Amino acid sequence: MFAFSGLHDAPNAAVSPGLVPGGLLTLVERPRPRYTKQNMRILVVEDEKRIADFLSRGLESERYAVDVAHAGLPALDLIHHTDYDLVILDLGLPDIDGIAVLEKIRNRRTSPPVMILSARDSVDDRVKGLELGADDYLVKPFAFVELVARVRVLLRRGQPTPERLQVGDLTLDCIRRKVTRSGENIELAPKEFSILEYLMRNRGRPLSRTMIVEHVWDMDYDGLTNIVDVYIRHLRTKVDDPFPARMIHTVRGIGYMLEASEKPNDQR
């Protein structure tokens, strides 16, 4: 995965942290935020200081409260004393392995979602991490926009999932698997339905092609990300084209987002 993100790619971001393939960090300084997003608190466990700084500044610019631990044992100590909404966990730590940290987190009575962040990209490591209860796995180097998109989805998990979704004049009935817009029935193929449901459940949140593939196809295969574009095209033909306002938006550098449009808009 190519790992550069720019300001123009990051909606709502006043900072443009980028991690380029060579490992250089670029970060635009800005004042620290004075308030946090719904009081969501994230723990970043990362021994490499510049990555930890890059993550905490980037996430704070997204208005999350962020703590950093540079090793596994201090991380466990923090988790013991603080209720985190999410832990972002590096695997290669100086004291104990990230996998051991994950196991200890999972042995707790209540444990926050965990996103593994690792340079280990072998299928074995990934499977092991997910089997041990990690909720997501992002391979370094990564694009910050991809990380933030995944963070947003992880943080909204656990909230009740309605059986009927509505965004603007678009409704989706998850039980009867029916979609209507402005009262008109829309016939969708099963994968189209699943993608639309995922977009609607995360309305207003950019979702990357990889996230859509992992969610809808239940597998991780880079070669499939192009197929997302094909399905989005089909979806737009049915959900957007017959209507004056577009709802499926392209988010440059990430993927797609569904949002109700206030006014007709020909731009995609």
Residues that bind Ca ion (CB under 5 A): 47, 90, 92
Query: CB 106 → Ca ion: shortest distance, Å?
Result: 20
Which C-beta is closer to Ca ion: that of 79 or that of 165?
A: 79
The dihedral through the CA atoms of 9, 25, 221, 105 has a sign that is negative
Query: CB 88 → Ca ion: shortest distance, Å?
Result: 12
Query: CB 102 → Ca ion: shortest distance, Å?
Result: 14
Nearest-angstrom CA–CA distance, 84 and 114 = 10
Which single residue brings its beta carbon nearest to Ca ion? 92
Nearest-angstrom CA–CA distance, 89 and 106 = 13
Which C-beta is closer to Ca ion: that of 92 or that of 244?
A: 92
Which C-beta is closer to Ca ion: that of 47 or that of 135?
A: 47
Query: CB 14 → Ca ion: shortest distance, Å?
Result: 28
Q: Which residues have CB under 8 Å from 107's CB, separation 6+?
A: none
The number of angstroms, rounded, from the C-alpha of 132 to the middle of its chain's C-alpha atoms is: 20
Which C-beta is closer to Ca ion: that of 94 or that of 190?
A: 94
